[in-house]
Amino acid sequence: MSAALNLLRAGFDVHVYEQSRVLREVGAGINVTPNAARVIHGLGLGDKLASLGVMPMAVHQQRWDDGHTLLRTPLGIEIERHFGFRQ
C-alpha cells in the first residue's frame, strides 16, 4: 500500500487489487519499526497509525515450559531516544 501511495503521489496511475471479498482482522500483529513509522508519517498516515496502534514498552521472550526469560528488549521511549522517532 505504501508503494502504491508513493507512486500515486509521484503522478503514476496506480491500481491496487485485493483478492479477499472482505478485509477483517486475522489475529496477527504488525510491528512498525522507527524507519517504517517515518515513511507512514510521510504518507500522511501518522494520525491513523497512532489511533489504531499501540506502542509496546518491550519485547519479552520467555521459555515456553518454565517461563524463564530468554530476552528482554526495551522499546517505546528507549527506541524514540535512540532513533529519534517512535515505532
Compute the distance between CA of residue 40 and CA of residue 66 in angstroms, rounded to an integer. Answer: 39
> Is residue 19's pLDDT more than 70?
yes
Taking residue 37's Cβ as centre, other Cβ atoms within 10 Å add up to: 22
Overall average pLDDT of the 19-33 stretch: 78
pLDDT tens profile 43-79: 888 888 888 888 888 888 999 999 999 999 888 888 7
**What is the average pLDDT score of the chain?**
85
Q: How much of the chain, in percent, has pLDDT values that exceed 70?
A: 94
Q: Residue 79, exposed/middle/buried by CB under 10 A (0-12, 13-18, 19+)?
A: buried
> Is residue 8's pLDDT more than 70?
yes
Report whether 87 contacts 79 (CB < 8 A). yes
Look at residue 83 in the predicted model and tell me its pLDDT.
Answer: 79
Q: Residue 46, exposed/middle/buried by CB under 10 A (0-12, 13-18, 19+)?
A: middle
